[in-house]
Amino acid sequence: MQEQENQVDLQLIEATKKGDSRAFGTLVRRYQSRVFKIVSRFVKDPNETMDVSQEVFIKAYRALNKFRGDSSFYTWLYRIAINTSKNYIILQGRRLPDIDFAVTDMERFIMKNSPKETGTPERLMMRDEIEHIVYDTIEHLPKDLRTAIMLREVEGLSYEEIADIMHCPVGTVRSRIFRARVAIDKSVQPLLGQ
């Protein structure tokens, strides 16, 4: 599935390079909501987020001839979105946020990975407590572990794509994700032991 998406992206990129502006429009439609979400982690005003997202696609269009296909188009676009967002914040004279991932992303991660228990008030309370512990653990992970686990679990990126984004070997990505999962499991275990 991922390979098929990459092939479609490459075809659209080649068509764009040959002058087909509709092909780039298709790429924009495919990735606009994901880019908007990335930018909104840094830029909180929705109007500014729209402007910065548009700037991301303008930069991508201008740099498309430099895209070599070493990584997926989304990984390449992700890096442009992060850098454009950070540059915008700095130009506005604001501080960069310390956490790269929005609270809603963490909540989605927790909901995706928490047991789907229904029933007694005790079970519901236990689930809420587990979610709180997982959220708190992720928030307090070192930045490299937090980034790796969120790119994997929330963004659904492959180890190779994460390695490209984080500028490190795939083995390092695997290690970071493993260490993040161990930390989460360790914090949840006392509750599950009850």
Q: Which domain holds residue 79?
A: 2-91
168 burial via Cβ count (<10 Å: 0-12, 13-18, 19+)? middle
Question: Is residue 155 situated within a structural domain?
Answer: yes
Pair 50, 132 in one domain? no
Pair 21, 44 in one domain? yes
Residues 6+ apart with CB under 8 A from 143: 100
pLDDT at residue 164, rounded to an integer = 86
Pair 123, 70 in one domain? no
State the CATH number of the domain containing residue 70: 1.10.1740.10
Final residue before a domain boundary, out of 91, 117, 137: 91
Pair 133, 75 in one domain? no
Pair 83, 24 in one domain? yes
Final residue before a domain boundary, out of 65, 91, 117: 91
Do the beta carbons of residue 99 and residue 116 sit within 8 Å? no
pLDDT truncated to tens, each residue of the chain (194 aa)?
Answer: 667 888 899 999 999 999 998 999 999 999 999 899 888 888 888 889 999 999 999 999 999 988 888 778 988 898 899 889 888 888 877 665 554 454 445 445 545 554 554 556 776 677 777 777 877 888 888 988 888 888 888 777 888 888 888 889 999 999 999 999 899 888 888 877 65
Pair 162, 189 in one domain? yes
Do the beta carbons of residue 24 and residue 87 sit within 8 Å? no
Question: Is residue 96 situated within a structural domain?
Answer: no
Distance from C-alpha of 118 to C-alpha of 131, rounded to nearest angstrom: 14
DSSP-H helix ranges across the chain: 2-17, 21-40, 46-63, 73-91, 103-113, 121-140, 143-153, 159-166, 170-193
pLDDT at residue 105, rounded to an integer = 53
Amino acid letter at 76? W
Question: Is residue 97 situated within a structural domain?
Answer: no
pLDDT at residue 150, rounded to an integer = 83
pLDDT at residue 6, rounded to an integer = 81
Final residue before a domain boundary, out of 40, 65, 91: 91
State the CATH number of the domain containing residue 163: 1.10.10.10
What is the number of domains present in the chain?
2
For the chain, the first-to-last Cα distance in angstroms comes to: 41
